[in-house]
Amino acid sequence: MANTQFPSDFLWGAATAAFQIEGATTRDGRAPSIWDVFCATPGKTKRGDTGEPACDHYRRWKGDIELMREVGLQAYRLSVSWPRVMPSGRGDVNPAGLDFYDRLIDGLIDAGIAPMVTLYHWDLPAALQMEMGGWIHPDMPKLFADYAQVIYDRLADRVKMWITINEPWCCVDGGYFHGGHAPGIRDRRLGYLAGHNLIRAHAYAVQRYRAHENGKGKISFALNTTFSYPASDTPEDAAAAERAMLDFGGWFTDPPHFGDYPAVMRERLGDMLPEFSAQDAALLRGSMDYLALNYYLSDTVRHAPGVGHMEIERSFDPAYEKTQMGWPIVPDGFFRLLKWLNSRYQGLPVYITENGAACDDKPDAGGFVDDQDRIAYLADHLAAIAAARREGVDVRGYYVWSLMDNLEWSEGLSKRFGIIRCDPQSQERTIKASGHWYREVINGNGAPALARATWKTDPADNRAKALATEDR
């Protein structure tokens, strides 16, 4: 069995996001976000689920910290709701909203749990969307930095790990390409523009952080992406798979590392892709203190002449088992992605800021969920991280998605990612088998709880297709 022992200073955590758990959407001066508006629009979320009451965490946060302690978490990733803190998105601050996060951070620290704070996890104040058109407006980066400044002023004395923006790719793909996420627009040109301003906003917020008297911690944005396996061993498919990775992970990670988009995107997208000014490019370069990766799945790509600007076609290999989201379970892709990212964005430590599975949980009469499928998913993905570490990728921490079942955006409450069950009716919390297992992982820094991982690092044990991509 491969070595799955992690070092004693490896950080073990869990993650959530404000809109998915807080509820209290109209309390203490909070104003609506684009997700409140979206959820209130008939047909936009499954069964019409909304952010009310979600997990009612705004009122139950103390109990939730107790549960984190029971699971043995060393770290917790949360997001701040911009419309709770600045209801109009700019100008006046809502003291009650800011106080909530102040208490939460103190509570975490008192419990010995290190907070990681995400500034933007998709809940844009609706006023900014209505008054300015949201992320397509060129002034948004400055407004985001002003909001970030308010949060730094209040929390940066205690918070040492920061994420500016969560998964900008999802904001664009869901919000502007297919429209299944807020604000529900379908326009590719606007999508690239929104993405451009999200990237600029990251840079502006990093600049403010680094200039802040308490800005001594680490800051980055959270990337979501896949590893793309070529559909065949032809050079065309190999090139297409590489192009696909640049078009996904590279789109948002090249600018904050190198100061511009991947060359292949510039060549193929032409004037759809906005230009960074020299000043913005300078701000962007080196604006990640670490690489924050959210990993869930991988895909297969073939060269598709004439299909879109990038001429790629993505599919899911039917050979893989899938989670309840329909996402293929590919720990091998995680391992390869970590190596790919490490060779492209050299010199950055890595934190896995999300990883987890939606499973078809079946609670027993007492509310307990024996989620062996989720444990298997987590064990194999942790084994993949251990393997990447052995090959020199400097992964320093892991946050499971998610601490508890919550509102899965347009999927509503139908998809459950938690290691803690949250009954949507009674709000009763019950630690699942995966939560108890995760405690063992944390206590042993991996082994022996990871002995149950079935994924093997020896490529001969993996899919033949993976072999073809070995040297990429």
Task: Tell me which residues touch ligand IFM (CB under 6 A).
Answer: 17, 20, 167, 294, 354, 401, 408, 417
Q: Looking at 52, 66, 70, 167, which residue is catalytic? A: 167
Give the Å distances, CA to CA, from 439 to 100, 118, 419, 434: 28, 24, 11, 9
Whether 321 sits among the annotated catalytic residues: the reply is no
Residue number with CB closer to ligand IFM (16 or 342): 16
Q: Which C-beta is closer to ligand IFM: that of 156 or that of 291?
A: 291
* Angstrom distance (rounded) from CA 116 to CA 19: 16
- Separation CA 457–CA 455 (nearest Å): 7
Q: Which is nearer to ligand IFM, 208 or 374 (CB)?
A: 374
**Cis peptide upstream of residue 287 (ω within 30 degrees of 0):** no
Structure token digits, residue 232: 């065949």
Nearest distance in Å: CB 356, ligand IFM: 7
Q: Pick between residue 64 and residue 408 the one whose CB is nearest to ligand IFM.
A: 408
Give the nearest distance from C-beta 101 to ligand IFM in angstroms. 18
Nearest CA to 309 out of 276, 271, 344, 255 is that of 271
**What is the nearest approach in angstroms of ligand IFM to the Cβ of residue 412?**
12
Query: DSSP letter at 345?
Result: S
For the four alpha carbons of 13, 17, 21 and 24, in that order, the dihedral sign comes to positive
Catalytic residue among 22, 242, 354, 408: 354
Identify which of residues 61 and 417 has a Cβ nearer to ligand IFM in the complex: 417
SS3 percent helix, strand, coil of the chain, rounded to 5, is 45, 15, 40
Minimum CB distance to ligand IFM, residue 231 (Å): 25
Is residue 45 within 8 A of residue 39, CB to CB? The reply is: yes
Residue 283: phi and psi, rounded to 5, are -65, -35
Q: Which residue is nearest to ligand IFM (CB)?
A: 17
Question: What tokens were used for 37?
Answer: 């508006």
| Catalytic site includes residue 70 | no
Query: Among residues 20 and 228, whose Cβ is nearest to ligand IFM?
Result: 20
Residue 118: both structure tokens together: 């995400």
End-to-end CA distance of the chain: 26
Closest separation in Å from C-beta 452 to ligand IFM: 24
Q: Which is nearer to ligand IFM, 287 or 402 (CB)?
A: 402
Taken in order 101, 224, 206, 149, the sign of the CA dihedral is negative
Nearer to ligand IFM, 228 or 402 (CB): 402
> How far is Cα 86 from Cα 148, in angstroms, rounded to an integer?
11
Please name which of 414, 471, 448, 458 lies closest in space to residue 242, comparing C-alpha atoms: 471
Q: Give 345's Cβ-side CA count (13 Å radius).
A: 30
Q: How far is the CB of 80 from ligand IFM (least distance, A)?
A: 14
Q: Which two tokens stand for residue 176?
A: 């502007």
Shortest Cβ distance from residue 353 to ligand IFM (Å)? 9
**Least spacing, CB of residue 93 vs ligand IFM, in Å:** 25
Q: Give the separation between CA 57 and CA 24, rounded to whole angstroms.
A: 8
Give the number of other Cβ atoms within 10 Å of residue 28's Cβ: 13
Q: Which residues are catalytic?
A: 167, 354
